[in-house]
Amino acid sequence: MKITVRIWRQAGPQEQGALVAYDLDEVSPDMSFLEMLDVLNERLILGGQEPVAFDHDCREGICGACSTVINGRPHGPEQTTTCQLHMRSFSDGDVIDVEPWRSRAFPVIKDLVVDRAALDRIVQAGGYITAPTGTAPDAHATPVPKPAADTAFENATCIGCGACVAACPNGSAMLFTSAKAAHLNALPQGQPERESRVLNMVAAMDAEGFGGCTNTGECVGSCPKGIPFQSIVDLNRDFLRAARRR
């Protein structure tokens, strides 16, 4: 099939960017979206042009590196990662707009590559259970009820791609932050640090310049891993309780 992609090209963090159109003639429906970009890049290189820079690594939908907004939606029309999006989701003759994540907390580095270190800093602020190596009791010392284990797992599947931030009209990182908090707060091991965890993570989230959550639910609609909105509600409750107990 033939398609046209209009891709955000920006030479560097301080440069001006713009959408640039490229026509592609031989796109196979079995190609992944990133393989389509590979084909384009190979052509650009041979034509003496700079290839499109984009983040990607595992290409299995688990590392969370890929990060493009396709036709106004993070990761494109399907609820998956860009690397797992296939060209069969598009039709012959389509014009596809490809842009980087947009958020003040995610400055563009080049083309479609943005800096997402702010998400790491939220985790650094409290997204962990303190358990230095060697201190652990036997794994069966504390049984975990299956519902709690399932809640923890569901939230732990977050891949940290940042699609929630890119989708949010406020550039809020609440879904990301709440997923990590919900994962750890659901487990018995996570209880001792429950309050400091939410206070510190929320403070870090605010300090990074992310917007606030207005409960629009755009994040949930773009999350490739289906992190539930309930996690945001739970984070709100945990935060307010922790704040009350100061």
Partner 1 sequence: MAIDIRVRPAELTAVQTVWRSTIGKKAVMAVTGLLMVAFLLAHMLGNLKIFFGPHDFDGYAAWLRTIGEPVLHGAWFLWILRAVLLVALVAHVTCAVQLSRRDRAARPTRYAHGQRARASFATRTMRWGGVALGLFLIWHILDLTVGVANPDFDKNGPYHNVVADFQVWWINLIYVVGVLMVGLHVNHGFWSAAQTLGLRRRRGRDLTLRVVGSALAAAITLGFLAVPIGVMTGLVR
Partner 2 sequence: MTLGYTTGTPLSDTAAPSGPIEERWDERRFAAKLVNPANRRKHRVIVVGTGLAGGSAGATLAEQGYHVVQFCFQDSPRRAHSVAAQGGINAAKNYRNDGDSVRRLFYDTVKGGDFRSRESNVYRLAQVSTQIIDQCVAQGVPFAREYGGLLDNRSFGGVQVSRTFYARGQTGQQLLLGAYQALSRQIDAGNVELHARTEMLDLIVVDGRARGIVARDLVTGEVTTHLADAVVLATGGYGNVFYLSTNAKGSNASAIWRAHRRGAFLANPCFTQIHPTCIPRTGEHQGKLTLMSESLRNDGRIWVPAAQGDTRSPEQIPEDERDYYLERLYPSFGNLVPRDIASRAAKNQCDEGRGVGPGGLGVYLDFRDAIARMGRAAIEEKYGNLFDMYQRITAENPYEVPMRIYPAIHYTMGGLWVDYDLQSNVPGLYVIGEANFSDHGANRLGASALMQGLADGYFVLPATLADYLARHSLEPVDPGHEAVRAAESEVGDRLARLLAVRGTRTVDSFHRELGTLLWDHCGMARTESGLRKALERIPRLREEFWREVLVPGTGEQLNQELEKANRVADFLEFAELMVLDALVREESCGGHFREESQTPDGEARRDDERFSYVSAWEYTGVGEEPVLHAEALEFDYVHPVQRSYA
The verdict on 212 binding partner 1 (CB under 8 A) reads yes
194 binding partner 1? (CB under 8 A): no
Q: Does 246 bind partner 1 (CB under 8 A)?
A: yes
Neighbours of 51 (CB within 10 A): 14
* Site stretch for partner 2 (CB under 8 A), options 1-9, 83-91, 165-173, 232-240: 83-91
- Residues near 149 by Cβ (< 8 Å), separated by ≥ 6? 186, 187
The reply to whether 245 sits near partner 1 by the rule CB under 8 A is yes
Calculate the alpha carbon distances from 188 to 128, 130, 193 in Å.
Answer: 13, 13, 10
Binding status of residue 164 toward partner 1 by CB under 8 A: no
Pick from 155, 161, 169, 246: nearest CA to 203: 246
Which of 16, 143, 245, 246 forms a contact with partner 2 (CB under 8 A)?
143
- Is residue 76 a contact residue for partner 2 (CB under 8 A)? no
Is 196 among the residues that bind partner 1 (CB under 8 A)? yes
State in angstroms the smallest separation of the CB of 165 from partner 2: 14
Stretch that binds partner 1, among 24-32, 86-94, 133-141, 224-232 (CB under 8 A): 224-232
Chosen from partner 1, partner 2, none, partner binding at 201 (C-beta under 5 to 8 Å by type): none
Q: Is 142 or 226 the residue whose CB approaches partner 1 more closely?
A: 226
Longest CA–CA span in the chain (Å) reads: 63
Cβ 215 to partner 2 shortest distance, Å: 27
Q: Which of residues 191-230 bind partner 2 (CB under 8 A)?
A: none
The CA–CA distances, whole Å, from 83 to 21, 46, 79, 133, 155 equal 21, 24, 12, 35, 21
Cα–Cα distances in Å, from 112 out to 53, 102, 109, 152, 222? Answer: 6, 10, 8, 32, 18
Contacts (Cβ under 8 Å, ≥6 apart) of 43: none
